[in-house]
Amino acid sequence: MEQQLLIVMIIYMGLLILWGVYQGRKVKNAQDYAIAGRKLPGWVAALSERATGESSWALLGLPGAAYAMGLTEIWTAIGCVAGIIVAWALISWRLRDAAEKYDITTYTDFIARKHSETARTIRVVASAAIVFFFFFYVGAQFLGGGKTLFTMFGIQPETGMLITAAIIVPYTIYGGFRSVVYTDVVQAIVMITALIIGPIVGLNYLANHPETYASDIGEALQLAGPSYQSFVGGASGFGAGVIIVGGFSWFFGYLGGQPQLSMRFMAISDMRQARKARNIGIVWTLIAYIGALMIGWIGLAIFGPHGLEDQEYVMPAVMLQIFPPAIASILITGAIAAMISTADSLLILSATEFSENLLKPLLKYFKMEIPNPLVQSRIVTASLAVIALLLAYVVEATLIFSLVSYVWAGIGGTFSIVILLTLMWPKYHGRAVVLTIISGLVFTIFWISTGMDEEIPARLLSFVVAFIVAVLATYLIPKKESEPQNI
């Protein structure tokens, strides 16, 4: 079985690389490279955004949590789904319109152009924060790829990291955002296929195999213990509230604050396509989250609460149990590929932010000749990929994952406030934006590093703190006079 899975994965990855390179041939300039010329069809933008946002989470993380926690994990699913629906329904089309109006190329570009009076400061502060944390985010994806290949095939993690980089880096360097988006489409289709047919076949399998731990999900939750049947894990009072708030707090990171997701909104070609993207994105999300929870609970019914050593591999274990080897191999390969290729979205985001908002202004300041923008973007992407890979090798994995933990709260919660107020509150100005970003990130680092995140999640409090600072700064600090418009 392992050999068959490896063969399927090699073929799948090979075709994916070729598809990415083919799409890269259509890249003609720096804007194509950074944001696909803002000409994405709605269905492409929607599937890419969903694959980027949910890849390893929907296929490994959420099923694993449902397997380990039972019904309690519903709150996390509700928080995520609510955030995604709000993002697609209320934010996506506004970001698309703003991207067209201001002719933006990067995520930070939009914020800076909207608050042109402090554009230079915003570019430096926002881009530096995103690039720094996403360096480690990319490194974490390389580490995750190495761990996955070791678990599935026994390949040493160090070698697995190199293989992961060799898969995604070439087409990302060549085709940039366009190649990344169109390879994401393939991932999203494979993912949703697994999350639809997996639960259907799994329920049928349970009904026809009485030798399993339980004959259906309800019986499995009952046999596993009271905490599995409880929506709050058997807790009460404050503890129950912490569980509910902790799960739902994922909501706040989806409100425009994840740059790699918001860039998909900005790249949609027109309003008609934006409406199509909204519908596809919401429907995909509802189906995917129901499917992911179901796979976790089906795994509980098949294996019991202590039947798996690693809860996050419940999805591959279930697929191997309920499908013939050939079909299981394809679905598992899709799960592995989706997780590994998440790095491409993070890499291209970091590269474009660094190239457009940090390197280019620096070259202009020193009156140095700016090379061909497309060549510059590719060189920067390659350089950042090498640095991220080296980080994965030389920096302790615990430190990398600790810094990644700041991303959803610090970047997601903080920039969600910046995006929401920039779009919807005319009084909000550039100086307040800078203070919002700095305070949100500083608070997140303090809150998580002191261990208080275990009591009240930083995903919620960073959002609240950033909002309070944004409002106070807007009213108490005067708006700066406009800078020259060559920004």
Mean pLDDT per block of 10 residues along the chain (487 residues) reads 81 91 93 94 96 84 93 95 96 96 94 94 95 88 82 84 90 95 93 94 95 94 94 85 90 94 96 97 96 96 92 89 88 75 88 92 81 88 93 84 81 96 96 97 93 89 97 94 56
Q: Compute the distance between CA of residue 350 and CA of residue 131 in angstroms, rounded to an integer.
A: 5
Domain ranges (residues) in the chain: 2-396
Question: Which residue shows structure tokens 């990067």?
Answer: 106
The pLDDT of residue 1 is: 66
CA dihedral of 400, 404, 405, 407, whole degrees rounded to 10: 160
pLDDT given for residue 487 in this prediction: 45
In the chain, what is the greatest distance between 2 CA atoms, to the nearest angstrom?
75
Beta carbons within 8 Å of 99's beta carbon, 6+ residues apart: 35, 38, 110, 265, 266, 267
First to last CA, the chain: 57
Residue 270 CA, chain-centre distance (Å), reads: 24
- Report d(CA 420, CA 435) in Å as an integer: 15
**Spatial distance between the Cα atoms of 111 and 470, rounded to a whole number of angstroms:** 14
Classify the phi-psi angles of 431: left when phi > 0, otherwise alpha if psi is within -120 to 50, otherwise beta. alpha
Distance, in Å, from the CA atom of 395 to the CA atom of 386, rounded to the nearest integer, reads 14
CATH fold, domain 2-396, is: Sodium/glucose cotransporter (1.20.1730)
State pLDDT tens for residues 19-33.
999 999 999 998 999
Whole-model pTM: value is 0.93
Q: Give pLDDT, residue 192.
A: 93
